Structure 1
Amino acid sequence: MPAWTTEQVVALAPDEASVKAARGLTHPGKWATLGQNDRACWGECRGSGSQPYQVGVEASEPAFKCTCPSRKFPCKHALGLLLLVAAQPVAVPAGEPPAWLGEWLAKREQTALRKASRTVDTELDPEQQAKRAAARDKRGAERQRKVEAGLEELERWLRDLVRQGLAHAQKQPARYWDTMAARLVDAQAPGLARWLREMASIPASGEGWSERLLARLGLLQLLLEGYRRLDSLPEPLQADIRSAIGWTWQETDLPADAWVRDRWLLLGQRTYEEDRLRVRRSWLWGRDSGRWALVLDFAYQNQPLPVIGAPGTWLEAELGFFPSQYPQRALLRDAVVITDSGIPPAHADSIALLRAYAEVLAQQPWLELWPATLAEVVPARGEETEIWFVRDTSTNRLPCHPGFADPWRLLALSGGLPLTIFGEWNGQQFWPLSAWRGERFTAF
C-alpha cells in the first residue's frame, strides 16, 4: 500500500472534530484485527456496539468502507486506520484481506467494469448519439436565447451605474447588486451573477475601492463586447467567454486531444461555500508535461465531496482540459495513487512572478486565479499593519490574502529561513496553499 503521511490523512477529514476523534483510534489496542497489502488496509475497530466495526480503505482513489452508522465521509474509523498506518506501519501487518473486504473490493471492480461497458455501448450506438445531440442542440439554442436577453438587461444596468457614478453605487444596499444577479441566474448566466455578487463587497473594501470596482466593471464590459463579437473570435477565446458567462463542460464534450496522462502532484486544496454548495479547488502539476491544472469539485450542503487524495499525494491520472486560450480548468479521471517525488519549477522572485502573470492575462484577461510557486521567500508581518507578506531575496513583498488562516504556522515552518511556497495569485494577493522546507512538504 502506498505510504501516507499524517498531513495527507488529516487533509481528507470532513472537519476538525473527525480528526480529533480519529486520533483517539491510533492505538493498536483499539483494533481487534489489522492488516494491509499493496492495494488496501483494513481493520475491525472496537466500538460501542457488540460487534466491532469493519473498516477498509482502498488506497488507489482512495475509497472507504465502514459499517458504523456515521454520515461523515470518511468517518473517524477510516481516518483512524489511515493515521495508524501512517504513524505506525509496522503495527499493521501484511496479509490477505478478510472475506468481507474482498467482497467489497470485488463489487468495486464490477462497478468499474459496468461503467466502462456502458461507455463503450454509447460510443457504438450512433442513433442514440444522434438523438442526444439533437436534444442537446435544442437545449443549447434555448439557453442562448435566455443568455442574450440577460446580457442586454445587464448592459442597460451597467450604463445606468456608470451614468449615476461610482459614488452612487457605494451608497446602494446589497439588494441593488443581488437583484440584478438573480435576474442573471434566471437568464442561465450564473458566472456573471457571481461576478456581480463579488463586486457588491468592493465599495466597502476601504482605500482604493473605486479603482478596484472600475477595473472589475471594465472587465465585465470587455466580456459583453466579446460575446457580441463571439463568432469573429478564435475558438479558445470563445470558450473562455462562454465559461465566464456560466457555460460548463462535461467529460463527453472534451475531444480526445484535450486529455493528458501524466504523474500529477496534488499541490494544494481550498474548500469554501458558495450558493449553498461546498466547492473544493484542487491544484495539480504534471511532472512530465509541466502543466498546471485546476480541478473543481462540488457537493450540496452536507453531502461528501469526491475523494481524490490529499495535498502532497502523487496521482497517475488523465486530466481533460477545458478549451481556453490558457487551459487550466480540467476534469480528473482514472486516478491512482502512486509514489514519486519532485517539486514544480518556481519563480525566482516576485518580479518574475508578475511578469509571467502579465503574459497569462494577455491571453486570458478574465482569469481569476493563477497557480504560482515562489522560491527563496520568507513570510513576514507588516510593521504598522497586520497584513502578512512573502518577501523575496530582493526584499520585494507580495501581500497575502486576508483570508489565509495559517500565517503563524507558515512563519514557524520558515523559522526565518527561506521557503519555496505554492499558492494562488489573484492579481493583488497571494494565498499560500503549501510549502517546502528542504524536502519537507507542508500543506495549509
Structure 2
Amino acid sequence: MQLSEDQIIKLAPDAASVKAGKGLASVAKWVLRGASDRALWGHCQGSGKNPYQTQVDLQNIAFKCSCPSHKFPCKHSLGLLFLHASRPDLFMIGEEPDWVKEWLEKRAGKAAEKKEKADKPVDAEAQAKRQEARHKKVLNGVDDLQGWLKDLVRSGLLNVPERAQSLFAGISKRMIDAQAPGLAGMMRQLQEIHYFGEDWKYELTAGVSRAYLVSESYKHLDRLPLEWQDEIRTLVGYPQTKEDVLANGEQVSDEWLVVASESQQQDRLTVEYNWLYGRLSGRYALFLQFLVPGALAEMALLPGSVVVADVVYYKGVASTRVLFREQKGTGEPFIPLGKGCCTGIAGAMQIYRESVTRNPFTYEVPVLVSGVRFVIHEKQVWITDRDEYLVPLTVGEGCKLKGFAVTGGREFTGFFLAGERSWRVLSLWIEDKYYTLSNEYNG
C-alpha cells in the first residue's frame, strides 16, 4: 500500500510530529530500509549507540518502534513513511526479517482472537433482564422530559437565547441519570445552537419537536415495527453491542472507498467519523471510532484509500453505521462515479427526500454528486449544476478557500452531507485527483 503525504499527515498525532517526521525522511538517517506488501521496516540512527527499530503494518495501519516516545505514531514511523512515499526505490523489496514477521504474526493472532470473541453467541436471557430494568428507568426519565419540554413551549421561546447555557444543563443531567444518553445529547445540541444567527428559531423548534417525538415513540415502543424499535432505542441512547451487531446485522462485502473523515470533540473524547462508499454495492457506511488522548485508533482509515472488507450494519431504519467484521486487504483508489452517484443536484435532492421520508429523524443524508461547481452569491457559498439548480453550503473559511483553489470554478464530483437547510461538502474529485475538505466537525 503506497501512502501519499496527505494520508501520512492524517496519521500524525500533531503538527510537531509531522515536522520531526519530515526531518527524518532522509536516506542518511536510515541504515536499513526494507519493504514488502505487508510492511515497511528500518533502522534509524539516533544519538545513541544502537539505531531505533521501526516497523509499519501497511495492511492494517499500525506502528512499532524501539524509541522511548509516547506518541503514536512516533517521528521515526512517520519519517519512514514519508521517505517511502517520496523515494520507494530506496527500499529493498523482499521477505520481512524475523523481528518484523513476529510482530505481524502477533497482530494477526490478536485479530483472530477478537473475531472469535465477537462471533460468540449473546446470552439473550440475561440481556433481556438488564434491558427490562433499564426500560423502567428510562420511562420515568421520558415523563420528566416531556413535562419539561411542554413547560418550555408554554413559557415561550423568545428568551431562550439569553439563558441557553444554563437552561438545558439540568434536564440533560436528568436524562443521564435516567440512562437515556441519546436524549441528553439532544438537549446538549439545543444548548449549542448558534443563537446569534438568524436560523436559531428553526433549529430550536425542530430540536424540541424531535426530542418530544422520540420520547413519545419510546413510550409506545411495543406497538412499533421491529426496525423502528431498534431505531428509537438507539436514539434514546441504548447501545447496540458489537456482539449483537456482528451476530444479527446485515453483512456487506465490498471494496470500501474512504470518501471522508472528520472528528468531533466531546469533553476529553475524540469521535472520529469515517464515511465509506462501496464500489460494487453503491452503499454508504459510517464507521465511528472513539479515542481518548494518546490512544491509537483501532483502524487507520485514510481519506482517499480503499479497504477490502466485510462490514456489518447496525440495526435501525436506513442505518448507515457499521462495524468491520474482517479487513481483507487494500484496493486501488477510484472515483465513485458508479452506482449511487447522482449526475446533477436534482437526483441528489430526490435521494434526500426519500431518506427523510423513510426516517424523519435523519439529520444529514450522504450523497455523491457529479457535474457541480462552487459559486458565491451575496457572501454565501453554493453549488450549482448545468440545470442551474442551487444548494447553499455550510463551509468553514479554510474549506471554502481550498475548494475554490483546487476547482478553479470547474465542475467536480463531490461527497456531501445533505441537510434540511444546507449541505456540507467533505471531499471532492477533479481531474482524477482526490481532495479532502473535511474540517474538525463541531456538530
State whether structure 2 residue 130 is matched by structure 1 residue 139: yes
In structure 1, what is the equivalent of residue 185 of structure 2?
194
In structure 1, what is the equivalent of residue 440 of structure 2?
none
Distance 1:367 1:400 in 2: 18
The change in CA–CA distance for 1:118 and 1:378 in structure 2 (over 3 A counts) is closer
Compute the displacement of 1:105 (Å). 1.8
Q: Give CA-to-partner distance per residue, 1:368-402, whole Å, 9 cap, x none.
A: 222111212222334x43x4332322343323224
In structure 2, what is the equivalent of residue 381 of structure 1?
376
Distance 1:380 1:17 in 2: 36
The change in CA–CA distance for 1:193 and 1:80 in structure 2 (over 3 A counts) is same
The change in CA–CA distance for 1:208 and 1:63 in structure 2 (over 3 A counts) is closer
Compute the displacement of 1:257 (Å). 5.6
State whether structure 2 residue 287 is matched by structure 1 residue 292: no
Aligned length: 433
Aligned ranges for residues 120-135 of structure 1 at < 5 Å? Answer: 122=120, 132-135=123-126
Question: Is contact 1:203-1:213 (8 Å) kept?
Answer: no
The change in CA–CA distance for 1:45 and 1:388 in structure 2 (over 3 A counts) is farther
Distance 2:308 2:31 in 1: 34
Question: Is contact 1:271-1:281 (8 Å) kept?
Answer: yes
Distance 2:356 2:236 in 1: 18
Compute the displacement of 1:39 (Å). 1.2
Compute the displacement of 1:4 (Å). 2.1
In structure 1, what is the equivalent of residue 175 of structure 2?
184
In structure 1, what is the equivalent of residue 63 of structure 2?
64
RMSD: 2.1
Match of 1:343 among 312, 335, 352: 335
The change in CA–CA distance for 1:118 and 1:373 in structure 2 (over 3 A counts) is closer
In structure 1, what is the equivalent of residue 100 of structure 2?
101
Compute the displacement of 1:343 (Å). 2.7
Question: Is contact 2:115-2:325 (8 Å) kept?
Answer: no
Q: Give CA-to-partner distance per residue, 1:261-305, whole Å, 9 cap, x none.
A: 211111110012013210000001111222110011101233232
State whether structure 2 residue 364 is matched by structure 1 residue 369: yes
Q: Which amino acid aligns with 1:437?
A: I
Match of 1:356 among 351, 355, 360: 351
SS at match of 2:92: coil
State whether structure 2 residue 25 is matched by structure 1 residue 41: no
State whether structure 2 residue 413 is matched by structure 1 residue 420: yes
Question: Is contact 2:309-2:325 (8 Å) kept?
Answer: yes
The change in CA–CA distance for 1:430 and 1:22 in structure 2 (over 3 A counts) is farther
In structure 2, what is the equivalent of residue 73 of structure 1?
72
State whether structure 2 residue 309 is matched by structure 1 residue 317: yes
Compute the displacement of 1:317 (Å). 0.9
Q: Which amino acid aligns with 2:264?
A: Y
What TM-score does the superposition give when structure 1 sets the normalisation length?
0.91
Question: Is contact 2:249-2:315 (8 Å) kept?
Answer: no
Compute the displacement of 1:203 (Å). 6.5
SS at match of 2:289: strand
Distance 1:70 1:261 in 2: 38
Q: Which amino acid aligns with 1:229?
A: H
The change in CA–CA distance for 1:44 and 1:314 in structure 2 (over 3 A counts) is same
SS at match of 1:73: coil
Q: Which amino acid aligns with 2:23?
A: G
The change in CA–CA distance for 1:31 and 1:289 in structure 2 (over 3 A counts) is same
Question: Is contact 2:312-2:324 (8 Å) kept?
Answer: yes
State whether structure 2 residue 7 is matched by structure 1 residue 15: no
What TM-score does the superposition give when structure 2 sets the normalisation length?
0.92
The change in CA–CA distance for 1:114 and 1:402 in structure 2 (over 3 A counts) is closer
Distance 1:339 1:202 in 2: 41
Q: Give CA-to-partner distance per residue, 1:107-154, whole Å, 9 cap, x none.
A: 22333344455567x45xxxxx6xx43432222122112211111110
Question: Is contact 1:263-1:288 (8 Å) kept?
Answer: yes
Question: Is contact 1:12-1:309 (8 Å) kept?
Answer: no
SS at match of 1:110: helix
State whether structure 2 residue 241 is matched by structure 1 residue 246: no
Distance 1:376 1:49 in 2: 56
In structure 2, what is the equivalent of residue 221 of structure 1?
212
SS at match of 1:184: helix
Distance 2:31 2:330 in 1: 29
State whether structure 2 residue 423 is matched by structure 1 residue 430: yes
Q: Give CA-to-partner distance per residue, 1:212-271, whole Å, 9 cap, x none.
A: 211222222221222122111111111111111111112211245611121111111001
The change in CA–CA distance for 1:404 and 1:358 in structure 2 (over 3 A counts) is farther
Question: Is contact 2:72-2:294 (8 Å) kept?
Answer: no
Distance 1:134 1:256 in 2: 16
Question: Is contact 2:249-2:314 (8 Å) kept?
Answer: no
Question: Is contact 2:255-2:331 (8 Å) kept?
Answer: no
